[in-house]
Copies of this chain bind each other. A is one copy, B any other.
Amino acid sequence: MQKNNINNIYYLGPNGSNTYYAAIKFLERENLTSLNKLPQKSIKSAAENFENDINSLCILPIENSIEGIVRETLDNFLTLKDNSIQIQGEITIPINHMLLSNAKNKKDIKKIYSHPQALAQCGNYLYKNFPDAELKEVSSTGYAAQKVSTETDSAAIANITCSDIFNLNIVAENINDEKGNQTRFYILGRNSDNNLNMGKTALMLSTKNQHGALCSVLQIFAKYNINLSCIESRPSKKKLGEYVFFMELDGFKEETNIKKSLTEIKNNAEFVKILGSFKEYKCS
């Protein structure tokens, strides 16, 4: 992890969002809590401001265990022009939804605000405990908490950090219907981590538009005994049925087999962009 000359970190805000929570956990782990925390309105503006600031890091959500790969993050990888940008690490956090309110008692809560995904993930809990409450969809869990901080008869579904930031009571903890909900984030910086001796490699590639092209690429990984831990297609946005593929491989990019496979694949693909090699890290 590159730390010298790093002053700023960009992420999807507002403060209190799940990305903010992941950023806090990451900064604590890396002893980087003195960085300026710069929340952004969208994944796109986080990526753009990071690209224009060489003294910065960026943290972006890549995958949620229920919703899947975060497409907006993949699409932004394709538009980054600075080739020194690399994924330098990852962090996985549990998504524990809390019910936060100025009210202390459930009976005083008439409206519940949150992001549509969070409302859906707590659907059974809400149905049982708040059958008559009005459910209000807003653009983020952080915004929901901010909104209810000015009201007395409403609650927000948001993460634990919002309780401190907006001075709200925790009315109920871990109200997700399904336990085990997790989100994984990438940390972007400049240059590679040259001290890796194990890890994963992320890349994007587009195959030549011909019969069996994707299969040829996958056969090359198989030949070198490289396991594909993740694959996702994104539309080329030019023509229906033309794709760019995002993949994660077990192994780091300086390993002999990974290097050999990537050299061969470059001959078989329209383009290959190595996003970086990094270690897995799960946060309890």
Contacts and interface: CB of A to CB of B under 8 A. Distances in A.
Interface of A: 63-69, 71, 92, 178, 180, 182, 184, 211-212, 214-216, 218-219, 221-222, 225, 227-235, 237-241, 243
Nearest to A92: B240
A233 B69 contact: yes
Contact of A241 (B216, B229, B232): B229
Contact of A214 (B65, B71, B184, B228): B228
Contacts of A237: 65-66, 178
B227 A180 contact: no
A148 B180 CA distance: 43
Contact of A233 (B68, B180, B243): B68
Contact of A227 (B64, B211, B228, B243): B211
Contacts of A233: 68-69, 230-232
Given A65-B235, A66-B237, A215-B222, 6 more contacts: A64-B240, A68-B71, A68-B233, A182-B240, A214-B218, A214-B228
A92 B241 CA distance: 11
A238 B180 contact: yes
A117 B184 CA distance: 25
A65 B240 contact: yes
Question: Nearest 7 CB-CB pairs, A to B?
Answer: A65-B240, A215-B222, A68-B235, A182-B240, A211-B227, A218-B218, A215-B218
A259 to B, nearest CB: 19
15 contacts: A65-B237, A65-B239, A68-B233, A69-B233, A92-B240, A212-B222, A212-B225, A212-B228, A215-B218, A215-B221, A215-B228, A216-B222, A218-B219, A230-B233, A231-B231
A240 B61 CA distance: 13
Given A218-B218, A219-B215, A241 B230 contact: yes
B232 A232 contact: yes
A240 B240 CA distance: 29
B240 A184 contact: yes
Contacts of A182: 240
A237 B218 CA distance: 25
Nearest to A75: B68
Contacts of A215: 218-219, 221-222, 228
